Structure 1
Amino acid sequence: MGHINQKESQVDRFSKLPNDILLNILDQLDVREAARTSVLSKRWRQLPAMLSRLIIDVNNFLPKGVFKPSIDELVHINLAVVEATRSMLSQRKSNQYIIHLLRVTFHLRDGDSISIGHTVGHTMTQQNIETAEFIILTEKATAKCTGDDLVGYGKQFMSFFYACPDAFGGLTRLHLKNLRFGELDAPKVLSTCKRLRHLLLHNCDSGAWTILQFIHSQLIELSIFSCRFERIELSWLPKLARLTFEGWISFEDPLFFGYVPVLEVLSLGSTCLSWHKMVTLSKFLDGTSVQDLTLNFKSEKIWVQPEDPKRLASMFHKLRSVNLIGVPEGYDLTWTMFILDAAPSLKELYITVWDHICEMGMDEERRRADSCSEKNVEWEGYDFEHQSLTTLTIFNFQPEDYFVRYIRRVMEVAVNLDDIFLYKRPSCGRCWDKYPGPSRYPSAKKQRCSLRNKIAQGTGSLAVIHFPALLRSDHAVKERSARSVCDRPL
């Protein structure tokens, strides 16, 4: 009895707090936990209808200990999302409390999807929702999807789309995966989602080598992963600031930049096979002047062709940060100097040299047939001086001669270089135990002192060489991007 009174007294103390503090606490909970608080008292019963953040995620309804649900379990948890969406939104009074974020993650199923869409669409007509997001999953994982699956999911999605125009008309974020669009489907979705600011497409196509054109007045961020289109045309995107484009199928002009006047952050990644042509960045990036550039080589052949830095002057004159990911191990790094030479305002250069097993094809027969054994890139550069570079960061540093030569070259060129950070191999829970041997990263203090002297001797540079034991917070994002395949979008 005393235990019950103690719990009631704790609830009473919470209940005396102002609404804004209680709502801030509830905003940190998932929707199921927030809903459960309504049984505590009459006052708590009103709070879920006042929340400003509603995140309803199908993964939060998984049975305990289940990570890959069966079809029967999936049906059950998807229905729970339908009910939670209806319950949380039906309690709200029109325009009394603004919804700053409404995010619903669910599996694409005909009746369930339409029920969610109708509920969200009705709420949008009654209330102000600042950010509304659909993350739409499919029953089969991407790796198991066949062409027939893509066709089926594509038809399901378009039925859902046409049944819920109010919901899609109010969306600001949309994540789609494993869909095959009809010829006019994608343009129709873009024209209907007029408020859309963020769009992610993963493993989508139109069934043939087709062109996907983007014309949208509000789109700020666009992410395209492993989509089989011959060409992506960014024809008119006046607000586009961030673009991620990974896994193109054609190395013959797979990306066209039209009107993208405010594009600042660009991330490109693909696996280059033996028959693919090298990319000439001055042509590939024509029409852009980005500030933050990421190039991911997937631990395979370098697909960038070193070129005269003068040709890149208009594209790289604003460049402040470059992140080179998945550079194969054991090959000379000097070719990267053409990027440094072409970007006079560059302040930060990050390089991850890593034969990442998660990214690489490991079937030796297929590798011999598809991959190019010559991963190295030759560049006959010339002497230049760089005034702006202050930081060089290398992930998976090894005390090999080609690393030492490269770092010395950067120290000689970058006259204002302040810091060099040399990290060990990035961590990857999937493949850390599959590497053939341990890392040779210098762990002993004596080793590090010797390496510092070997690298810096005769360069005249005042840059400080660091061997960080812990990952700095400002480097964490760059390190995570090197593990992109392990952090693939939902």
Structure 2
Amino acid sequence: MEPPVAKKATQPEEEDRLSVLMDDVLLSILRKVDISTTVRTSSLSTRWRKLPWLLPELSIDVRHFLPVPCPDSITANDCQQAMVALTKAAKCLLAKPHRQSTITTLQLKLYLISTFLSDIGPLLGDVIDSGLLKDLDLCLLDDLKPGDSSELHMIQLAKDMYGFFNVYPSVFGCLTRLSLHGVCFIELDMHHLLFDCCTQLKHLSLHYCDAGRRSVWKIDAPDSKLSVLEIDTCCFERIELVCLPELEKLHWDTWVSEYIPLLFGDVPSLGELKLSSALTYYNTVFKLSELLHGTTSIHTLTLDFQGENLWIQPEMKQLCTAFNKLRKLTLRGIFVEFDIIWTTAFLEAAPSMEILIIEVWDHACSAFVNDEERMSVFAERKNPHWEMDFHCSKNGLLKELQFVGFRSLEQQFAFIRALLDRAPNLQTILLKGAEQCKYCDALDTKSCCSTESSFPKSEDEQELVVRRITDGKSSPRMM
């Protein structure tokens, strides 16, 4: 057995190995670990002791303090204990005298529990007032699952958040990114809080939020710096973007509306738009050209139908104005048994399109217990029927087609062959199998397709696919 003296002799050697590394190298190591590990490293050696307080970017996430492995159901006690640990870590990293260097960005994710906001608020206020924090990325989480949260609970969360900002107004000065979960603004002035008060806000995300059932959210903020707006499963009847001059990206996932869900006014910078929703009995079908009216700069568009009927009406030339600058179009969640030829209508409307991505929906999503439950929400799927003019001009700029969820189905071969006729300069066709479903976390779920066709895996199967597509003609590179 090695004598104790020999063990002690190795400690300076280990410390010397660390001491030869530059601070930048050690800090790059710390950036790759969670905040609890970062705090613990300060006890490794004298070389590491000061490093956590030199990190220019900090990420303090309450979810890193939950039990490991994380349970399927997080209890109120789990949230409370996680917030206790987060508060200790925040005090350690933000409070004086340790913190003397500037934090360029602080990412702070915490549960919106009022008893802990009185501890976090002074820490943020001090570091902001001292000029040590430039940008704050704040995420306020709900400790309840969306389905378990009542309207009274959501209203109380909004009041707690509003009270927090009122007591510590300096937070507004560096709040550049804000993410809210499960908040109801029915008793508060939503526009005043998010745009009149949060004057530095550039990125706003709302998850399961509303301002009262079926409310209209009107945004008229000519002085706003907001460039990214993300809406996820929020109960707005409609969002009216009257004026958001610096808005570049808008993502809206899941809406329930009897009208066109979006109206655009002055949004000159809007270049990326993503709309994702399933058509339910409570939604209306609308013309995409009417929704896009007022936009002039969209270059990237994603439409996701989540495996149900289309929520857009047949159009072609009416889309030319809105699609004038479109470079990349993604059409997702198309039911696998649907004809896909209708998607070629967008080639005529978007003469500048360079990349087209098609993704088909090919499984029985376990978000519903059975077909009967699904049919209580969604109508029977009907194959889209668009009157197509196959003598339209060709698209000479389309360079790449990506097809996700490809199977050896005749309607898919017919679509690709039609696309080859319409896009003579197509250079690459990328065929992919089904991807992970984000709604039910399934990949190899039982297919909802009545045929037995599958993604070609063997070399012989892939060669057969190429022959069926090209019919012996020269073709783009296929992957």
TM-score computed with the length of structure 2 as normaliser: 0.91
Contact 2:251 2:274 in 1 (8 A): yes
Q: Are 1:408 and 2:413 an aligned pair?
A: no
* 1:214 matched residue in structure 2: 219
* 2:459 matched residue in structure 1: 445
Q: Percent identity?
A: 33
More helix by share: 1
Contact 2:362 2:434 in 1 (8 A): no
Change (3 A) 1:44 1:446: closer
SS at structure 1 position matched to 2:42: helix
**Structure 1: distance between partners of 2:412 and 2:266:** 40
* 1:337 matched residue in structure 2: 344
* 2:446 matched residue in structure 1: 435
Contact 2:316 2:346 in 1 (8 A): no
What does residue range 464-479 of structure 1 map to in structure 2 within 5 Å? 464-466=477-479
**Structure 2: distance between partners of 1:314 and 1:200:** 29
Q: Which of 117-126 and 429-438 deviates more?
A: 429-438
| Structure 1, gaps ≥5 residues long | 467-490
**Structure 2: distance between partners of 1:327 and 1:267:** 15
Contact 1:408 1:455 in 2 (8 A): yes
* 2:199 matched residue in structure 1: 194
Give the number of equivalent residue pairs: 463
* 1:299 matched residue in structure 2: 307
Partner amino acid, structure 1, of 2:395: H
Partner amino acid, structure 2, of 1:441: F
The Cα of 1:274 is off from its aligned counterpart by 4.0
For residue 86 of structure 1, the aligned residue among 83, 88, 91 is 91
CA RMSD of aligned residues (A): 2.2
Contact 2:207 2:234 in 1 (8 A): yes
The Cα of 1:430 is off from its aligned counterpart by 2.7
**Structure 2: distance between partners of 1:73 and 1:274:** 38
Change (3 A) 1:347 1:251: farther
**Structure 2: distance between partners of 1:22 and 1:271:** 48
For residues 104-157 of structure 1, give each alpha carbon's deviation from its aligned partner in whole angstroms, at most 9, with x where no partner exists: 111111021232122112211212433311111111111322323322322322
What does residue range 323-402 of structure 1 map to in structure 2 within 5 Å? 323-358=330-365, 361-382=368-389, 383-384=391-392, 385-402=394-411
Change (3 A) 1:11 1:141: farther
**Structure 1: distance between partners of 2:97 and 2:106:** 13
TM-score computed with the length of structure 1 as normaliser: 0.89
Partner amino acid, structure 1, of 2:339: D
* 2:171 matched residue in structure 1: 167
Q: Are 1:9 and 2:13 an aligned pair?
A: yes
* 2:471 matched residue in structure 1: 457
For residues 232-289 of structure 1, give each alpha carbon's deviation from its aligned partner in whole angstroms, at most 9, with x where no partner exists: 1212211111110121211412211111111111100111124533221110011113
Contact 2:232 2:254 in 1 (8 A): yes
* 1:315 matched residue in structure 2: 322
Contact 2:178 2:201 in 1 (8 A): yes
The Cα of 1:376 is off from its aligned counterpart by 1.8
Change (3 A) 1:397 1:119: same
Q: Which of 265-274 and 391-400 deviates more?
A: 265-274
**Structure 2: distance between partners of 1:334 and 1:407:** 9
* 1:476 matched residue in structure 2: none
For residues 335-357 of structure 1, give each alpha carbon's deviation from its aligned partner in whole angstroms, at most 9, with x where no partner exists: 11111210011011011101454
| Structure 2, gaps ≥5 residues long | none
Q: Are 1:126 and 2:140 an aligned pair?
A: no
For residues 273-329 of structure 1, give each alpha carbon's deviation from its aligned partner in whole angstroms, at most 9, with x where no partner exists: 2453322111001111311100010111111112132x2222111111111111111
